[in-house]
Structure 1
Amino acid sequence: MENSQIIEYLQKLDKSVYVHASNLLKKFSDWDTLSAKQKIALPKIGTEYVNYLINNNKLKGYSDKIIIERTKLLNNYFDFHDNKFKNYFTSQGKFRSTILEEFMFILFNDLIEEVRSKIENSEEKLKLGSKKAYTNLFFSGADFYSFVETPQIGIHQKDQDFAIYRPISISIGKSKSINTNLPIVSIENKTYIDKTMLEGSIATAEKIKSGNPYSLFFVVTERYAVDLNIDPVYSKIDQIYVLRKDNKKNTTNPVFPDVLIDLIQEVNNHLNRNWSDVENKLNISGKII
């Protein structure tokens, strides 16, 4: 494909959810700053990406069969990048990392479209993509008297690589409204996760779930590089999904579709289960939590 054709295709995509496409488009816009080898690589990567996305868009639904097909496409695109152009763009540019972040949207989009069909004005109430997620609310004032007379509200938010969320506007008393996003599912994406990264994810999970205890918090990583004597089961992280099923940085393992199948099934179950039904729990099992 010609550069102009690739750029035209990328420009039609929603940049808030197609974050890898947005990254590609930014690199095309910075063409004059690219090195000679990057100028050779980018059109080839762009062509491969367009075909990858076209083939993904032909798939509909989130059945096991569909997830297996999407995983094949993902592995092929990862392999194309890693085997031919692995070190052409720096990690600071987040080129490769946005592949997985964008795939989360591709993976969950059809499920959310199905859920939206059951909700009035669903386009406004249920969204997905990379977003700042609500963690907690606080009150403030310029001084004691203003705090007593007109306390102001503020919120803390945390960037999430991917979230299924409910936009909401909060106002109390005379405070002006503040817009934020209540996470239903929050996902951190990693190429690999080490001990320091795990500690950061644990802290984020605690913040996210303190603001919404009914939310799920997942880490979805290609590889796992944490000492196996460290068990994160004590944390607020609901699950760590290791897509390549290993704890090494360098491996030939592909992304395994059964890991992604479990992920989407867990989210689907969460969206359709009762979140709070103390009476029913008490009557059936005698267990409240």
Structure 2
Amino acid sequence: MPKSDRNPLVHGSNLEQKENHRTKYRDVGSKKYLSEIRAEYDKWHSANLELVGPTSTPTAQDEAIIATRVELLSKYKDFLDQQHYAEKFDSRSNLHSSVLEEFLYYLFKDLVRDFGENALIGKSHTFKDIFFVPPKYSEMLKRPYARIEKKDHDFVIGATIQVSFEAATPPEKDENPREVLPLLKEEPENYSEVTVTGNTETHIFDIPVVAIECKTYLDKTMLEGSSRAAEDLKARNPNSLYVVLMEWIKLTSNVNLRKYKVDQIYVLRQQKNTDREFRYEEKYVKNSINLVVVQHLFHKVRKHLKMDWTGGIEHGIERGWLIDE
């Protein structure tokens, strides 16, 4: 299977795109700000790469390592969140929102590495569903024309899967059919990406085991969307974990969290959301990123990756209850 060229350093990539953009960010002010951000980003990036851990094996140093990563994140976020940078690079540029996504890579990189070089980590277009779209029935008898529907996730830990499909003779039919059907040479224009060899088509896609959605803040509409995404994921991979991570929360006590399908919601600053322009008022107090919240997230993910997923009806019958708790 070919190695992926995905880059988990999404914030660094976003910054590089702005630095090299042919038309945008070419003015003196933008170049100055990008240069200042680059200097601080390189420090944050290097410090996180030099820091090792936590890994899949718990140690007495785990909490201190996480604390250092949170301290590095807080320092860089405080720098980047200054008003002049926020006004120059708004939310549509994804410069600020991508910081959390890259932080998750640093937080989990050494844990995931313990599971092998094929482990998937970072931003990904993952498997959502499969369906079949042959141009006509006669073509369906030659090959399946499978199409893979994908879903963008901010951060995943999982695996890349390569599968092959081919049309088969029904078992009750003669193994030596008299007629050999010719294969369609050209693909329909809107057919999903696939490698076709003879009557075999090969697809490559990512399967998340852990999916983390990163947001600046979370409101009810966003939560409903996250819940639908979590439900879709669990329908295809029941062993998956779906988490929402944000800095601020924009939910009221009238929201029934139990009806949503996400496994956990983490609020890094343990604070209600305030519109960005009010965050720069002198009287506004911005909470720091809470270390305990990040520690809880890390331990939840590590436990999930290391646990035994054996289950199902037969296993449940043995103990008397069918759904894991």
> Which residue number corresponds to residue 16 of structure 1?
7
Deviation of 1:152 after TM superposition, in Å, equals 2.3
Opposite residue 8 of structure 2, the aligned amino acid is: V
Structure 2 counterparts to residues 140-219 of structure 1, below 5 A = 140-173=133-166, 174-219=199-244
For 2:139 and 2:200, locate their aligned partners in 1 and report how far apart those are by CA, in whole Å: 12
Q: Cα deviation per residue 1:48-99 (whole Å; 9 max; x = unaligned)? A: 1111122222221121111111111111111111125221212111111111
- Asked if 1:240 corresponds to 2:274, the answer is no
For 2:203 and 2:143, locate their aligned partners in 1 and report how far apart those are by CA, in whole Å: 16
For 2:11 and 2:265, locate their aligned partners in 1 and report how far apart those are by CA, in whole Å: 23
TM-score (norm. length: structure 1): 0.86
For 2:251 and 2:138, locate their aligned partners in 1 and report how far apart those are by CA, in whole Å: 51
Closer/same/farther in 2, CA of residues 280 and 206 from structure 1, 3 Å limit: closer
* Alignment check: 8 A CA contact 2:143 2:201 kept: no
Opposite residue 37 of structure 1, the aligned amino acid is: G
Looking at secondary structure, tell me which structure has more helix per residue.
1
Q: Cα deviation per residue 1:195-219 (whole Å; 9 max; x = unaligned)? A: 2211111111112112111111111
> Which residue number corresponds to residue 272 of structure 1?
306
Deviation of 1:233 after TM superposition, in Å, equals 2.1
Opposite residue 136 of structure 1, the aligned amino acid is: D
* Alignment check: 8 A CA contact 1:105 1:128 kept: yes
Could you tell me the percent identity over the aligned residues? Answer: 34
SS of residue matched to 1:33? coil
Structure 2 counterparts to residues 241-260 of structure 1, below 5 A = 241-249=266-274, 250=279, 252-260=286-294
TM-score (norm. length: structure 2): 0.77
> Which residue number corresponds to residue 101 of structure 1?
101
Higher deviation after alignment, 258-267 or 166-175: 166-175
Opposite residue 97 of structure 1, the aligned amino acid is: S
Number of matched pairs: 268
> Which residue number corresponds to residue 120 of structure 2?
127
Uncovered stretches (5+) of structure 2, i.e. residues with no partner: 55-61, 167-198, 280-284
Opposite residue 52 of structure 2, the aligned amino acid is: K
For 1:32 and 1:180, locate their aligned partners in 2 and report how far apart those are by CA, in whole Å: 34
For 1:113 and 1:216, locate their aligned partners in 2 and report how far apart those are by CA, in whole Å: 19
Q: Output the aligned Cα RMSD.
A: 2.0
Closer/same/farther in 2, CA of residues 273 and 78 from structure 1, 3 Å limit: same
For 1:158 and 1:149, locate their aligned partners in 2 and report how far apart those are by CA, in whole Å: 29
Deviation of 1:138 after TM superposition, in Å, equals 1.7
Closer/same/farther in 2, CA of residues 154 and 78 from structure 1, 3 Å limit: same
Deviation of 1:257 after TM superposition, in Å, equals 1.2
* Alignment check: 8 A CA contact 2:159 2:207 kept: yes
For 2:29 and 2:252, locate their aligned partners in 1 and report how far apart those are by CA, in whole Å: 38
**Which of the two has higher C-alpha Rg?**
2
SS of residue matched to 2:43? helix
SS of residue matched to 1:229? coil
Deviation of 1:31 after TM superposition, in Å, equals 7.1
